[in-house]
Chains A and B, each alone.
Chain A
Amino acid sequence: FAGLADVSIAEDIPVEGEITIPVGSHSPDEDCSTLDEPVRDTIMRDLKAVGKKFVHVMYPKKSSALLRDWDLWGPLVLCVSLALMLQGGSADSKEDGGPQFAEVFVIIWFGAVVITLNSKLLGGTISFFQSLCVLGYCVLPLTVAMLVCRLVLLAGSGTVSFIIRLIVVVAMFGWSTLASTAFLADSQPPNRKALVVYPIFLFYFVISWMILTFTPQ
């Protein structure tokens, strides 16, 4: 500091400057305390967050706190169970339903990614992973529909069972679409809502179609 040794400022003149601080700095403080938390606490915390989201899908109310805390565990579990239940359900499956399992997986994840990209390109404010999270969790009603369909098919596969399955699948399809649009459409400018809702409608329609046309061997 030799060069500044002869700098002198009058005592009563305030010196002003600017400091930039990232706004999100308050939560790393509380994360510092979670840095050393035992692993069991971390696991329980994440499990509770996943459970809360499942409940929110069944009773969709717009809740920004839910959206902020995204995770992809729920979609993974739902995707795997749906794909497992759709096993061996088409007339020309030769092996153990291998290709179909991967197909369901690819359809769900690729479809969700495409919808997310579409909504982001239309100027949506929701983030990429939040959108994936919402779309994945809203597959829950359709997974329940698949379960019901499989149970109904155990009883028989006549016209009555088809009508029951149709009603259940349509109801769950409506529930899924409404739940996901409740979360996603609000992040869009109002004149673009239909452009965002339509791909979501298609996405759940394709999944419902796979569920409805499922016939066991």
Chain B
Amino acid sequence: GSPPQALVDDTEDVSLDFGSEEELALRKAKIRHPLATFFHLFFRVSAIITYLFCDWFSNSFVACFVTILLLLSFDFWSVKNVTGRLLVGLHWWNQIDEDGKSHWVFEARRVPTRAASTEAEARIFWLGLIICPVIWTVFFFSTLFSLKLKWLALVIAGISLQTANLYGYIYCKLGGHKSTSRATSHFFVTADVPKSKYRVALPATALNRHVLTR
């Protein structure tokens, strides 16, 4: 009879609204990747806090050293491989081709995907990326001048890892504006890439038509 029909109609309406409501909420949210944002900051800030307060946590130099080193490594890996792609759509990596030549590739995503990043996320990403190497540089000088030299190796490791990410992402960001675009991403490859040249033959009619019709 008619009540089951009405029920079917009701549930169909409800499911459609639910889908679009979810998308609307996603679009309105200031932070669309909460987990990535959290982890982007978590490892770096934990490393800095552990370094500053290591005397409170443990008496052992070795435990602090290993903990901070592991936090810095996890931070490097997650910022390079995960949070950069999710929060700002940038990615950089090293590629070695069959000849054994290595080149660095920098990619910037142009077409926004469904869950593209928001401005708040981008701001958090860049602030976290820039402020932490500065803090580690401050630690470098304070360690040097207070002659606590056993920490120097760790501070240098911290500076190198975080500056590498900073440099890589800045290169991605700048390179994306300069290079020629593909359909969905800019690819910006360093100069020592072996390029292959193709000779292209175009029939002149096609060229005429393209030029004249603006």
Contact = CB atoms under 8 A, between A and B. Distances in A.
Interface of A: 1, 4-5, 7-25, 27-28, 31-32, 35-36, 39, 42, 46, 64, 67-70, 73, 76, 80, 84, 87, 95-99, 101-102, 105-106, 125-130, 187
Given A18-B198, A24-B189, A99-B150, 20 more contacts: A4-B211, A7-B211, A10-B204, A11-B205, A15-B204, A16-B201, A20-B197, A36-B85, A46-B81, A69-B96, A84-B66, A101-B61, A102-B65, A102-B154, A125-B101, A127-B94, A128-B102, A129-B102, A130-B96, A130-B102
Given A64-B100, A84-B66, A102-B153, A129 B199 contact: no
Interface of B: 59-62, 65-66, 69, 73, 77, 81-82, 85, 91, 93-98, 100-103, 105, 107, 109, 113, 150, 153-154, 184-185, 187, 189, 193-205, 207-208, 211-212, 214
B204 A12 contact: yes
A4 B195 CA distance: 31
28 contacts: A7-B211, A8-B208, A9-B207, A10-B204, A11-B204, A17-B199, A18-B197, A19-B198, A20-B195, A21-B198, A22-B187, A25-B187, A28-B185, A32-B185, A35-B109, A42-B81, A42-B82, A46-B77, A64-B98, A68-B96, A69-B96, A70-B94, A87-B62, A97-B62, A102-B153, A125-B100, A127-B94, A127-B101
A76 B66 CA distance: 10
B97 A24 contact: yes
Contacts of A19: 197-198, 200
Tell me what chain B mostly uses at the interface: helix, strand, loop, or mixed: mixed
Contact of A16 (B91, B150, B154, B199): B199
A17 B98 CA distance: 28
A96 B59 contact: yes
Nearest to A35: B85
A110 to B, nearest CB: 9
Contact of B61 (A7, A27, A98, A125): A98
